[in-house]
Structure 1
Amino acid sequence: MKHIKRNASLIAASAVLLGLAVPLTASAAGPEPLKWTKCEGTGLDPRQQCATVDVPMDYSDPDGGKIQIAVSRLPSGKPSARRGALLLIPGGPGGVSLEDPSGKGQKLPQQVRDAYDLIGFAPRGMAPSSTASCGLESKDLALAKLPWPTPDGSVTETMATARRIADACARNGGELIRHLNTANDARDLDRVRAALGESRISAWGDSYGTYVGSVYSQLFPHRTDRIVLDSNNNPDHTRVGRAWLAAFETGVEDNFPEFAKWASRPGNPYRVARKAADVRPLFLRLAERLDREPLSWPGADPAELNGNVLRQTMLTSLYDPDDYPTLAQMILAARKGTVPPVPEAPDESMMQNAAAVGAGILCNNVAWPRSAAHYQKSVDESRAKFPLTAGMPRGPMLCAAWPYEPREPAVRITDRGPSNILLVQNERDVASPLSGARELRRAFGDRAVMVTVNSTGHGAYLANGNACGDGIVSRFLATGERPDRDTYCA
């Protein structure tokens, strides 16, 4: 769900899946060899190479129209120790990992980098792969717009925004937007695997990438080697996407106390209260005041600091404790009746691209309720129980007005397949809370082992986790050694 944080954007019947699985691998003639060239971009390892893989736009018509998937590769640092290829599956929907072999991949221990070629890619719809866009109005890209209800809790305006965005996607998204879903993301990865010449492939997926990795492991279980899933989403195939959004209720409740302790610490230059217990009521009062009396914020988008902007800033800042000062500065400024500096605006073309892919994935995976009354009832319940998020996690995304029905059932994650999956999960994760990770762990059964890390933030392995968790994951990738049972890293 990083699309909510970073990109204004905010994720089966076995007979159907088995029927599709036969033509969804490599074609009978086999994949064409990849034509590797120098990658564009700055700051990349000079050894990193790039190529494209042609895949079907519609896997039910594998001989029909093709789209391209952009792929990058950083070869093993020690060919004699090379085991295979490690896919770096990005979050999102709307994330790209093309630069990750030269970026976060370099945080991997040398033994892991020696064992694998590191493989990045741009998922279907994301530039520079065949690209999707809904051509949205700039106002509909604002983080605090959808699906936050209005200050009185009404979803009427949110439903109108959903219809406007969905209509734009139908009008401007072309045929590609109808073929964006997680199952197709997984099928594309199997085409990448085949083009790389690998009989099996390992993967490190984070956030939304954990669902892509899970679906790949379900559709192509015997083509998986060592699978690491980091910051895990609830795999409920009846509520894909909706369950991820709803998880912010508990995610915020899990994480806000950590912010409160930090924001009340003596000596903190961004201290907002003298006691941790005072931070929550202070925040709620301030949000309500900004609902009633927004502050003008020239140059920002939106151009006012209102209650939902404060709440969205909270949500964004809780992803990483390093971002706590952003929320504290906004609280301190707003209490004085002023505004913080205008944040740097993200690139609009990137926002448009990520918003379209996020929309296609979330809305094509599973049908969402259409009734405004359904969302209003859910929002009212959520506001009463989880005031910090003010009903947003149960609000209507644009999927409430999506003009297309899913082309296939969402993939159901089961315990069928090899036991080669390691879940790593921070105990306090605002976007992928521990409760959802436990649901994925249950779904995998004996196929998986989970490492729960006593840490705060989104992204555990080599990010916001701890040395214990990092060591377990690194050993698994390098040697295949995995704990015999679920493990807690204190």
Structure 2
Amino acid sequence: MNSDARRTTTRRTTARRAAAALVAGVLLLAGCSTPAKEQSSVGSGSPSPDASTGGSAGGSGAPAGFEEFYGQSLEWSGCEDGFECATASAPLSWHDADAGSIELALVRSRAQGRDRDKVGSLLVNPGGPGASGTDFVRSAVGTFGEPVKESFDIVGFDPRGVGESTAVRCFDDARKDESLSKDFGTDDAGLAAMADEAEAWGEACAESTGELLGQVDTQSAARDMDLMRAVLGDEKLNYLGYSYGTQLGATYAGLFPDRAGRLVLDGAIDTSLSADDISKGQAVGFENALRAYVTDCQGGPDCPLTGSVDDGMRQVRAVLDQAYERPYPTSDPNRDVTQTLAFYGVAVTLYDEASWPLLTQALDEAINEGKGDVLLYLADFYNDRNADGSFATNSSEGFRAVNCLDDRGTTDVDEMRANAAEIEDVAPTMGRFFAYGGVTCADWPYPEAEQEFDLHAKGAPPIVVVGTTNDPATPYVWAEGLADTLETATLVTYEGEGHTAYGRSNDCVAKAVEGYLVDGTVPEDGLTC
């Protein structure tokens, strides 16, 4: 087991596109020598000015000492495929205006409709923490409905510490690859080795990143969003956040309720939960998603899982257990599939039911051929690892750094063992990979950030929370919890499989989300799609 496996699961938010990429990649893999991965309305503020440098319409509200940041003008320039790119300057620390500055990368897809129909900017975040919002806009804008694309400048950003923004850096690629493949036991020796590896991460991140490492918490990123609102020229922030992006959006609403516009939070994280609660909830979510997959697999042809659904679940667990005892060989003589990699390979396919056939292919290869090529491909896809051993993103670094500042969970070994027993009891197949997460951050070089926002976001306009009933990464009960926590939330339910709903589910969800974003029509609370 790898300590970085727990709370892995908010990374993959563009599930349908991930599934398509996995299918394409595995088809290519198979062709090579490698075996075959609408009731009331609310206003949202004034439109953004049509100017290449942004505008000052939303420039008011700068905290004392940060006026220069709020008053900056963005210089947009054309980048690939018709998008526009810009860089914003943000303070290194939102508690010390003199601490220096960092850069935030932005990508914009301009509104396609008439100027008079333009609502403003729509800031979007795909999740993580650690996922790139600029990449998200480039790949995902096509899945947004036409009303959204016509009415909004859709703006993606890489949060502080992530991607093309001033980024967290830790290990080199070879060392990172080694770490993401490691297994650890859960006896005293195994936990000690896990702690040593976590300490090595912290030391490498601190050495390579510097003071930024202590400033990448979610509250700081939410304050960056208010800065972006201002320099984009919007009086109110219109926002679509997926997965971890819902935590970011809820934090913004708690910090700036009077500046919140139309916020949609899809694949919700319940911000009232602790890190340990999150780990247990995700374990159950992935267990349920895997059970749904096994049921579907056994109902069709060529399924390698035999007997009852419970039998099939035990067979998946046996694959994971074998990977720990005897890692699966692959066509690359230098790479075997460890248990950690096998878990990633299984987990990534559960984000969308369109990926389930790839899991069948991977399990069939492991069970009937004793090989792990497809599992390895899937794990590499999950970790953003390129074929040459380099990594396309710093999502693993960002994920760890943000979580360790937000909430690191218990670090008491006895409590972790008790939590692990509870998790494995409710999730006997997948639960082990969500336990002992407190080891990851126990010796992190910077302390947790103190909570400075109102969990209930009192005074904010209506906030639309969307939940999917069998979402593995952000279980549906979290959407219910966030909707209960936020004072003005309304809940939309998608009855289905997979992670998040808008852009990958049905017209009912699309109409609810788009009706609110574009027209301000609040969906009926409790709407089920």
Structure 2 length normalisation: TM-score? 0.80
| Aligned partners of 1:24 and 1:187 also within 8 Å | no
**Distance change >3 Å, CA 4–CA 212, structure 1 → 2:** closer
Please identify, of 121-130 and 282-291, the stretch whose mean Cα deviation from structure 2 is larger: 282-291
Identity %: 23
Q: State the SS of the aligned residue for 2:486.
A: helix
Match of 1:468 in 2: 508
Alignment-derived partner of residue 202 in structure 1: 238
Residue 325 of structure 1: aligned partner:
357
Task: Number of aligned residue pairs: give it.
Answer: 464
1:173-211, CA deviations, whole angstroms, 9 ceiling, x for partnerless residues?
A: 211111110001111111111111111121110011111
Cα distance in 2, alignment partners of residues 96 and 49 from structure 1? 16
The answer to whether the aligner puts 1:449 opposite 2:482 as a matched pair is: no
Q: Provide the secondary structure at the position in 1 that maps to 2:121.
A: strand
Structure-2 separation of matches of 1:330 and 1:89: 31
Determine the structure 1 residue equivalent to 2:481.
Answer: 439
**Is the deviation greater in 321-330 or in 49-58?**
321-330
Equivalent residue of 2:153, what SS?
strand
How far the C-alpha of 1:435 sits from its partner, in A, is 1.7
CA drift of 1:314 comes to 2.1
Equivalent in the alignment of 1:126: 162
Q: Answer yes or no: is 1:54 the counterpart of 2:65.
A: no
**Contact 1:5–1:315, Cα closer than 8 Å, also in 2:** no
Q: Does the alignment pair 1:32 with 2:43?
A: no
- SS of equivalent residue, structure 2 residue 377: coil
Distance 1:417 1:299, change over 3 A: farther
> 1:15 corresponds to which residue?
none
In 2, distance between residues paired with 1:381 and 1:485? Answer: 34
**What is the match of residue 193 of structure 1?**
229
Moved more, 102-111 or 183-192: 102-111
Are the aligned partners of 1:149 and 1:157 in contact in 2 as well (CA < 8 Å)?
Answer: yes
Q: Does 1:404 align with 2:408?
A: no
Structure 1 stretch displaced more, 98-107 or 51-60:
98-107
Distance 1:182 1:242, change over 3 A: farther
Relative distance call for 1:243 and 1:412 in structure 2 (3 A) is farther
Q: Secondary structure at the match of 2:467?
A: strand
Distance 1:152 1:287 in 2: 18
Task: Indicate the residue corresponding to 1:81 in structure 2.
Answer: 117
Do residues 382 (structure 1) and 414 (structure 2) align?
Answer: no
Q: For 1:33, what is the secondary structure of its paired residue?
A: coil
- Match of 2:465, SS? strand
Question: Compared with structure 1, are the counterparts of its residues 424 and 77 closer, same or farther at alpha carbon in structure 2 (3 Å cutoff)?
Answer: same
| Preserved CA contact (<8 Å) 1:263 1:273 | no
Deviation at 1:424, TM superposition (A): 1.0
Give 1:426 shift. 0.6
The TM-score normalised by the length of structure 1 is 0.86
Residues 5 and 316, structure 1, Cα contact 8 Å, conserved in 2? no
Unaligned runs of 5+ in 1: 8-20
Amino acid at match of 1:430: P
Per-residue deviation, residues 90-112 of structure 1 (Å, max 9, x unmatched): 21111112144443222222222
Residues 254-313 of structure 1: per-residue CA shift (max 9 Å, x gap): 21221012211233x455336544311222233334433333335388x33344433332
Q: Quick check: 1:108 aligned with 2:144?
A: yes
Tell me, what secondary structure is at the counterpart of 1:247?
helix
The answer as to whether partners of 1:366 and 1:410 remain within 8 angstroms in 2 is no
CA deviation digits over 1:221-256, x for unaligned, max 9?
12121111010112026x2x4443332211123212
Provide the C-alpha distance between the structure 2 equivalents of 1:25 and 1:431, rounded to a whole number of angstroms: 39
Task: Give yes or no for the alignment of 1:280 onto 2:280.
Answer: no
Query: For residue 451 of structure 2, what is the amino acid of its counterpart?
Result: P
Aligned equivalent of 1:10: none
SS at match of 1:177: helix
Shift of 1:160: 2.4
My pick for the range that moved more, 80-89 or 335-344, is 335-344
CA distance 1:198–1:282, shift in 2 (3 Å): same
Q: For 1:300 and 1:248, locate their aligned partners in 2 and report how far apart those are by CA, in whole Å.
A: 34
